[in-house]
Structure 1
Amino acid sequence: MELHEIIGFVAGFGTTFAAAPDLLAMLKRRSSRGMNPTMAGIMGTFQIVWVYYGVLIDSMPVIVWNIIAVVINFLVVGAFFYFVRNEKIVREAKR
Protein backbone atom coordinates (compact mmCIF):
# COMPACT_ATOMS: atom_id res chain seq x y z
CA MET A 1 0.00 0.00 0.00
CA GLU A 2 1.34 3.40 -0.98
CA LEU A 3 1.70 6.37 1.40
CA HIS A 4 -1.17 8.33 -0.16
CA GLU A 5 -3.49 5.35 0.38
CA ILE A 6 -2.46 5.09 4.04
CA ILE A 7 -3.13 8.81 4.51
CA GLY A 8 -6.49 8.35 2.78
CA PHE A 9 -7.46 5.54 5.14
CA VAL A 10 -6.47 7.57 8.21
CA ALA A 11 -8.27 10.71 6.98
CA GLY A 12 -11.37 8.76 6.02
CA PHE A 13 -11.68 7.17 9.44
CA GLY A 14 -12.77 10.39 11.15
CA THR A 15 -15.36 11.48 8.65
CA THR A 16 -16.71 7.97 8.22
CA PHE A 17 -17.57 7.51 11.86
CA ALA A 18 -18.87 11.05 12.46
CA ALA A 19 -22.48 9.81 12.49
CA ALA A 20 -21.76 6.82 14.75
CA PRO A 21 -22.22 8.74 18.06
CA ASP A 22 -25.74 9.78 16.99
CA LEU A 23 -26.60 6.21 16.08
CA LEU A 24 -25.22 4.84 19.35
CA ALA A 25 -27.01 7.50 21.42
CA MET A 26 -30.31 6.75 19.71
CA LEU A 27 -29.90 3.00 20.22
CA LYS A 28 -28.94 3.50 23.87
CA ARG A 29 -31.93 5.79 24.53
CA ARG A 30 -34.20 3.63 22.38
CA SER A 31 -35.77 6.89 21.27
CA SER A 32 -35.75 9.24 18.29
CA ARG A 33 -35.84 12.23 20.65
CA GLY A 34 -33.55 15.01 19.53
CA MET A 35 -32.64 13.33 16.25
CA ASN A 36 -33.24 14.59 12.74
CA PRO A 37 -32.68 12.07 9.95
CA THR A 38 -32.29 14.68 7.20
CA MET A 39 -28.56 15.21 7.65
CA ALA A 40 -27.83 11.49 7.75
CA GLY A 41 -29.98 10.92 4.68
CA ILE A 42 -28.26 13.66 2.71
CA MET A 43 -24.81 12.49 3.77
CA GLY A 44 -25.59 8.87 2.90
CA THR A 45 -26.90 9.85 -0.51
CA PHE A 46 -23.84 11.87 -1.43
CA GLN A 47 -21.48 9.27 -0.03
CA ILE A 48 -22.89 6.93 -2.66
CA VAL A 49 -21.59 9.46 -5.20
CA TRP A 50 -18.22 9.39 -3.41
CA VAL A 51 -18.15 5.59 -3.73
CA TYR A 52 -18.72 5.95 -7.47
CA TYR A 53 -15.99 8.60 -7.64
CA GLY A 54 -13.65 6.25 -5.77
CA VAL A 55 -14.34 3.57 -8.37
CA LEU A 56 -13.66 6.03 -11.20
CA ILE A 57 -10.30 7.09 -9.77
CA ASP A 58 -9.50 3.60 -8.46
CA SER A 59 -9.03 4.79 -4.87
CA MET A 60 -9.59 2.07 -2.31
CA PRO A 61 -9.66 4.47 0.69
CA VAL A 62 -12.42 6.55 -0.91
CA ILE A 63 -14.43 3.44 -1.76
CA VAL A 64 -14.05 1.63 1.57
CA TRP A 65 -14.66 4.54 3.93
CA ASN A 66 -17.63 5.83 2.01
CA ILE A 67 -19.30 2.41 1.84
CA ILE A 68 -18.99 2.16 5.61
CA ALA A 69 -20.29 5.74 6.01
CA VAL A 70 -23.28 4.99 3.75
CA VAL A 71 -24.20 2.04 5.96
CA ILE A 72 -23.85 4.06 9.18
CA ASN A 73 -25.88 7.00 7.87
CA PHE A 74 -28.68 4.82 6.55
CA LEU A 75 -28.73 2.91 9.85
CA VAL A 76 -29.25 6.29 11.57
CA VAL A 77 -32.18 7.03 9.26
CA GLY A 78 -33.63 3.54 9.68
CA ALA A 79 -33.30 3.60 13.48
CA PHE A 80 -34.90 7.05 13.59
CA PHE A 81 -38.00 5.89 11.73
CA TYR A 82 -38.13 2.63 13.71
CA PHE A 83 -38.18 4.53 17.01
CA VAL A 84 -40.64 7.15 15.69
CA ARG A 85 -43.03 4.34 14.75
CA ASN A 86 -42.65 2.66 18.15
CA GLU A 87 -43.14 5.96 19.98
CA LYS A 88 -46.32 6.61 18.00
CA ILE A 89 -47.67 3.14 18.89
CA VAL A 90 -46.94 3.74 22.59
CA ARG A 91 -48.65 7.17 22.50
CA GLU A 92 -51.73 5.72 20.82
CA ALA A 93 -51.88 2.84 23.31
CA LYS A 94 -51.93 5.34 26.21
CA ARG A 95 -55.03 7.11 24.84
Structure 2
Amino acid sequence: MEVVIGTIAGILTSVSMIPQLIKVLKEKEVENLSWMMIAVLLTGVSLWVVYGIMREEWPIIISNAFSVMVNITLLIAYFLYKEK
Protein backbone atom coordinates (compact mmCIF):
# COMPACT_ATOMS: atom_id res chain seq x y z
CA MET A 1 0.00 0.00 0.00
CA GLU A 2 2.88 2.39 0.75
CA VAL A 3 4.27 1.89 -2.74
CA VAL A 4 0.89 2.75 -4.28
CA ILE A 5 0.54 5.91 -2.19
CA GLY A 6 4.15 6.88 -2.90
CA THR A 7 3.67 6.31 -6.62
CA ILE A 8 0.46 8.37 -6.76
CA ALA A 9 2.07 11.17 -4.73
CA GLY A 10 5.12 11.10 -6.98
CA ILE A 11 3.05 11.26 -10.15
CA LEU A 12 0.97 14.18 -8.89
CA THR A 13 3.93 16.23 -7.71
CA SER A 14 5.94 15.41 -10.83
CA VAL A 15 3.26 16.58 -13.24
CA SER A 16 2.39 19.68 -11.23
CA MET A 17 4.82 21.91 -13.17
CA ILE A 18 3.86 20.61 -16.62
CA PRO A 19 1.02 23.14 -17.14
CA GLN A 20 3.46 25.96 -16.30
CA LEU A 21 6.06 24.55 -18.68
CA ILE A 22 3.51 24.20 -21.49
CA LYS A 23 2.35 27.79 -20.94
CA VAL A 24 5.91 29.11 -21.02
CA LEU A 25 6.81 27.16 -24.15
CA LYS A 26 3.62 28.28 -25.92
CA GLU A 27 3.71 31.95 -24.97
CA LYS A 28 7.48 32.38 -24.60
CA GLU A 29 6.67 34.57 -21.59
CA VAL A 30 8.50 34.18 -18.28
CA GLU A 31 8.01 37.60 -16.68
CA ASN A 32 5.89 36.21 -13.82
CA LEU A 33 8.26 33.36 -13.01
CA SER A 34 10.99 33.42 -10.41
CA TRP A 35 14.17 31.68 -11.54
CA MET A 36 15.14 31.41 -7.87
CA MET A 37 11.96 29.45 -7.07
CA ILE A 38 12.68 27.09 -9.97
CA ALA A 39 16.29 26.66 -8.81
CA VAL A 40 15.23 25.91 -5.22
CA LEU A 41 12.62 23.41 -6.41
CA LEU A 42 15.18 21.82 -8.75
CA THR A 43 17.62 21.46 -5.86
CA GLY A 44 14.93 19.89 -3.68
CA VAL A 45 13.79 17.32 -6.24
CA SER A 46 17.41 16.52 -7.09
CA LEU A 47 18.04 15.76 -3.43
CA TRP A 48 14.94 13.54 -3.43
CA VAL A 49 16.49 11.58 -6.31
CA VAL A 50 19.67 11.11 -4.28
CA TYR A 51 17.61 10.06 -1.25
CA GLY A 52 15.64 7.60 -3.38
CA ILE A 53 18.86 6.11 -4.72
CA MET A 54 20.23 5.75 -1.19
CA ARG A 55 17.04 3.97 -0.08
CA GLU A 56 16.60 2.10 -3.37
CA GLU A 57 13.03 3.41 -3.62
CA TRP A 58 12.04 3.44 -7.29
CA PRO A 59 8.86 5.53 -6.89
CA ILE A 60 10.95 8.30 -5.31
CA ILE A 61 13.71 8.03 -7.90
CA ILE A 62 11.51 7.94 -10.99
CA SER A 63 9.00 10.61 -10.01
CA ASN A 64 11.63 13.05 -8.85
CA ALA A 65 13.93 12.38 -11.81
CA PHE A 66 11.00 13.29 -14.07
CA SER A 67 10.45 16.42 -12.00
CA VAL A 68 14.15 17.29 -12.35
CA MET A 69 13.83 17.10 -16.15
CA VAL A 70 10.69 19.27 -16.19
CA ASN A 71 12.27 21.90 -13.95
CA ILE A 72 15.56 21.95 -15.88
CA THR A 73 13.55 22.53 -19.04
CA LEU A 74 11.59 25.31 -17.32
CA LEU A 75 14.79 26.94 -16.05
CA ILE A 76 16.37 26.80 -19.51
CA ALA A 77 13.20 28.29 -21.02
CA TYR A 78 13.28 31.02 -18.38
CA PHE A 79 16.74 32.17 -19.42
CA LEU A 80 15.98 31.76 -23.15
CA TYR A 81 12.79 33.85 -23.03
CA LYS A 82 13.77 36.33 -20.34
CA GLU A 83 13.69 39.86 -21.68
CA LYS A 84 17.13 41.31 -21.68
Question: What is the TM-score of this pair, normalised by structure 2?
Answer: 0.89
Aligned to 2:8: 10
Using CA pairs under 8 Å that are at least 6 residues apart, name the structure with larger relative contact order, 1 or 2. 2
Query: Quick check: which one's helix share is greater?
Result: 1
> 42, 50, 53: which one pairs with 2:51?
53
What RMSD over aligned residues (CA atoms) do the two structures have, in Å? Answer: 1.3
Runs of 4+ aligned structure 1 residues displaced above 4 Å come to none
- Give the number of aligned pairs: 84
The reply on whether 1:74 has 2:48 as its aligned counterpart is no
Which residue is 1:63 aligned to?
Answer: 61
Identity of aligned residues (%): 29
Question: Is 1:32 matched with 2:21?
Answer: no
Name structure 2 gaps, 5 residues minimum.
none
Q: Distance in 2 between matches of 1:45 and 1:52?
A: 11
SS at match of 2:17: helix
Task: Report the alpha carbon displacement of residue 35 of structure 1 after superposing the two structures with TM.
Answer: 1.7
Equivalence for 1:83: 81
Question: Tell me, which stretches of 5 or more residues in structure 1 are unaligned?
Answer: 89-95
Q: Does the aligned pair in 2 maintain the 1:5–1:60 contact within 8 Å?
A: no
Following superposition, the deviation at residue 6 of structure 1 comes to 2.1
Q: Looking at CA atoms only, which structure, 1 or 2, has the larger radius of gyration? A: 1
Deviation at 1:19, TM superposition (A): 1.4
Report SS of the residue matched to 2:16.
helix
Q: TM-score, normalised by structure 1?
A: 0.80
